[in-house]
């Protein structure tokens, strides 16, 4: 347990303080970028900030679930998904830099909340319920990313390439969780998750 807590603390520090490093190529490499005007740049920056917050929460959620997980095999699967989410974290951070924008100032709060949800899901409901949270989270994130494809400026081909790859990865994570034995969450729980996500995206759009 002590080792697990140390790893959880290390994950938090790496997510919130260290510069994330991607293990896969940047999806926007080689993409021909079109010139964005100031309004388009701000719109793209706000959307990518929201996506960056989502990846901060993903790191926290998977870390909390892994800490509470009973199955070594499932813990390994969660760790693999977390590594892919680290790619997303690095990509969204790089895109924010390219757009001369910044991450959310409330990232520590977002991280703490997501970590608590992940840990509680694993402890109170067991591995199958924890996996159910993964499935529902990834489904909601996939829908959220699709909406960003509609909201991003047409000229922002770089952000679109990043969001497209992230969307494909989130779908794969949901499928992994379903194959591992996820249970369907009750409708009220799904509604609460959607409301919490709405609060996060609304605030992160500006702060």
Residue whose tokens read 């409330």: 106
Read off the pTM: 0.91
Classify residue 38 as exposed, middle or buried by CB count within 10 Å of its CB (0-12, 13-18, 19+): exposed
Domain ranges, ordered by start, for the chain:
2-7+40-204
- Top mean pLDDT of 75-79, 81-85, 163-167, 186-190 is at 163-167
Per-residue pLDDT at 118 exceeds 90: no
pLDDT of amino acid 131: 86
Average pLDDT, the chain: 88
Please write the tens of the pLDDT for every residue from 68-86: 887 888 888 887 777 888 9
- Residue with the larger pLDDT of the pair 177 and 5: 177
Residue 140 CA to residue 102 CA, distance in Å, equals 24
- Residue with the larger pLDDT of the pair 4 and 120: 120
- Residue with the larger pLDDT of the pair 82 and 88: 88
What are the Cα distances from residue 118, in Å, to 6, 8, 75, 175? 17, 12, 13, 18
Tokens encoding 42: 């701000």
pLDDT of amino acid 22: 92
Q: Which CATH architecture has domain 2-7+40-204?
A: Up-down Bundle (1.20)
């Amino acid at each position: 347990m002590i080792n697990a807590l140390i790893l959880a603390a290390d994950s938090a520090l790496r997510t919130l303080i260290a510069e994330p490093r991607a293990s896969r190529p940047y999806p926007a490499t080689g993409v021909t970028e079109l010139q964005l005007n100031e309004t388009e740049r701000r719109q793209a920056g706000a959307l990518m900030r929201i996506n960056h917050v989502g990846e901060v929460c993903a790191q926290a959620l998977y870390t909390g679930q892994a800490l509470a997980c009973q199955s070594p095999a499932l813990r390994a699967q969660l760790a693999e998904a977390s590594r892919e989410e680290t790619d997303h974290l690095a990509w969204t951070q790089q895109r924010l830099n390219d757009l001369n924008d910044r991450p959310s100032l409330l990232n520590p709060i977002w991280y703490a909340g997501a970590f608590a949800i992940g840990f509680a899901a694993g402890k109170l409901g067991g591995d199958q319920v924890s996996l159910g949270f993964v499935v529902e989270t990834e489904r909601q994130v996939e829908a959220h990313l699709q909406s960003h494809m509609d909201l991003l400026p047409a000229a922002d081909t770089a952000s679109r390439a990043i969001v497209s790859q992230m969307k494909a990865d989130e779908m794969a994570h949901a499928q992994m969780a379903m194959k591992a034995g996820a249970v369907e969450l009750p409708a009220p729980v799904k509604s609460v998750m959607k409301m919490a996500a709405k609060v996060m995206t609304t605030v992160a759009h500006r702060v």
